[in-house]
Amino acid sequence: MKEGQLAFMIHSGSRNIGKYIGGVWRDKAKSTWPQQQLYPQSGLFPLADPEMINDYLQAEATAANYGFVNH
């Protein structure tokens, strides 16, 4: 930034980003659950595929970076 310049930040509702990421990955984990098995009583569906785990962690890191930059 230099004197005389303007900067704008648009707050997109960062709390909703976390909710969105959680919902997307909950649905992905649920969709990979074996159809012949009952759903877990807890309603929590683990991510078992290493690539999905990596993608999930990347999504969470992106959300954390967004929050950090907009602190």
* Statement: residue 10 has pLDDT above 60: no
pLDDT tens profile 24-34: 999 999 999 99
Report whether 48 contacts 32 (CB < 8 A). yes
Q: Is residue 35 part of a domain?
A: no
| pTM higher than the cut 0.85 | no
Residue 71 to residue 14: CA distance in whole angstroms = 11
Q: Is residue 50 part of a domain?
A: yes
pLDDT at 55: 93
Q: Is residue 10 part of a domain?
A: no
Q: Is residue 51 part of a domain?
A: yes
Q: Is residue 61 part of a domain?
A: yes
Domain holding 52, by residue range, is 46-71
Tally of domains within the chain:
1
pLDDT at 52: 92
CA-based nearest residue to 67, from 12, 8, 6, 7:
12
